[in-house]
Amino acid sequence: MALYNTEAISGWERFYRANFINSLTGFKSSSLIGTVNAEGQPNLGIFSSIVHIGSDPALIGYINRPMKAAPHTLANIRATGIYTINHIQPEMIAQAHQTSAKYAPEVNEFEEVGLTPEFIGNIKAPFVKESVVKYALELQQIIPIELNETFLVIGKVIAVQLNESIVSEDGFLQLEKASTVCSNGVDSYYNTQFIARYAYAKPGVAVSKITKSE
């Protein structure tokens, strides 16, 4: 086992450190965020820092990098208050990853990478038609993180579209049936393989596996 301390970490070349630290937090959700600007111009970007904030109300957050590094998505969310988050399936990984390129603000990433914008009901932001699991959010709060000029952007879930066949009796989503991928670091994608679900844990009682929705 190797041990790395603060001095070692801060001395690494910056891309080496970025790869290492981005992997350190473990596997994560990589998803595509769809927005439009005030003129209705679509934008699509990949984000891997999506985080559950709460279920009632249904609040989901993501970390936006500093405005100078990643300006378009957050500017559009500020302008319209509405955005979509779309899961990534194996067939669309290359296109999804390509949205991380630094396109000019007037570029429509859907067209550039070959994914299809889909408008549902009266929701102003575009979904990704190819995504099997997708949801729309209404902006609630943008919290600046002054430590490194990033932002925690929190939205309330206002619509969800997915295939009913992945929903278990108790509301759990069998994401492996939707072939949702997960990611590691900034550029690596994985399939998943179900191991087990465990029942609600109680002190002094050994946890048991849930078998009904396997």
Nearest to 160, CA basis, from 123, 209, 214, 195? 123
Check residue 195 for interaction with a copy of itself (CB under 8 A): yes
d(CA 127, CA 133): 10
Binding mask 41-60 for a copy of itself (x = CB under 8 A): -------xxxxxxxxxxxxx
Check residue 116 for interaction with a copy of itself (CB under 8 A): no
Pair of tokens at residue 208: 């048991």
Closer CB to a copy of itself, residue 75 or residue 152? 152
**Nearby residues of 164 by Cβ (< 8 Å), 6 or more positions away:** none
Check residue 119 for interaction with a copy of itself (CB under 8 A): no
Binding mask 64-103 for a copy of itself (x = CB under 8 A): ---------------------x-x--x--xx--xxxxxxx
Only one of the segments 36-44, 73-81, 104-112 lies at the binding site for a copy of itself (rule: CB under 8 A); that segment is 104-112
Question: E-assigned strands of 56-133?
Answer: 58-64, 82-87, 117-118, 127-128
Only one of the segments 32-40, 70-78, 206-214 lies at the binding site for a copy of itself (rule: CB under 8 A); that segment is 206-214
3-state secondary structure of 164: helix
